[in-house]
């Protein structure tokens, strides 16, 4: 669980920093302050357990990318926006995974419970059979992100000529 929370925070910071860097490179440094506000609100929401905030932040980051295209597009902006949106989608997915995981976290194999093998302690509760759900989700997310990024790069770099 700690791995997912750490990865969520990394994705939020990565999304913010890439979009803010895109604004700065495009000469729109003042707009990068918007990204600082968004990351602050999102991290407060994660810490405070505001379940409804992830979808709103996804919309805000998509909107920030659109604004960047609209008011200050240059050739490098597309790469910053692509990286930022992939990180934003990953953060949104991890946030929703944590929300779905929380009810499962209060399982019958609680720390201190006696089993046939003895008492369950700390991380052993997560190592029981069937508790590799987190790792499976992270592996699947990595595969989707890598494939999505590869396809986006191919779409942006391959040019066709009209016949």
Residues 46-105 pLDDT 10s: 888 888 899 999 999 999 988 888 886 777 888 899 999 999 999 999 999 988 876 555
Q: Is the pLDDT of residue 162 over 80?
A: no
Characterize 25-62 residue by residue with b for buried, 16 or more Cβ atoms within 10 angstroms of its Cβ, and e for exposed: bbebeebbebbeebbeebbebbeeeeeebbeebbebbe
Over residues 18-32, the pLDDT tens digits come to: 999 998 988 888 888
Report residue 76 as tokens.
């490098």
Residue with tokens 């999102």: 42
Between residues 113 and 46, which one has the greater pLDDT?
Answer: 46
Q: Which helix (H) or strand (E) holds 115?
A: strand 114-115
Global pTM?
0.78
Helix axes 77-105, 53-72, angle to 10 degrees: 180
Over residues 130-145, the pLDDT tens digits come to: 458 888 999 999 999 9
Report residue 36 as tokens.
């600082």
């Amino acid at each position: 669980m700690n791995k997912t929370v750490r990865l969520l925070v990394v994705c939020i910071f990565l999304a913010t920093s890439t979009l803010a860097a895109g604004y700065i490179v495009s000469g729109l440094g003042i707009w990068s302050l918007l990204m600082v506000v968004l990351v602050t609100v999102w991290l407060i929401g994660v810490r405070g357990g505001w379940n409804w905030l992830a979808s709103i932040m996804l919309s805000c980051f998509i909107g920030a990318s659109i604004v960047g295209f609209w008011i200050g597009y240059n050739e490098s902006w597309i790469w910053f926006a692509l990286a930022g949106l992939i990180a934003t989608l990953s953060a949104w997915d991890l946030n929703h995974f944590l929300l779905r995981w929380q009810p499962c976290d209060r399982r019958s194999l609680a720390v201190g419970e006696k089993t046939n093998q003895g008492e369950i302690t700390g991380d052993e509760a997560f190592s029981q059979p069937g508790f590799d759900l987190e790792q499976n989700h992270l592996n699947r997310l990595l595969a989707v992100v890598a494939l999505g990024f590869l396809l986006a790069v191919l779409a942006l770099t391959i040019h066709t000529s009209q016949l």
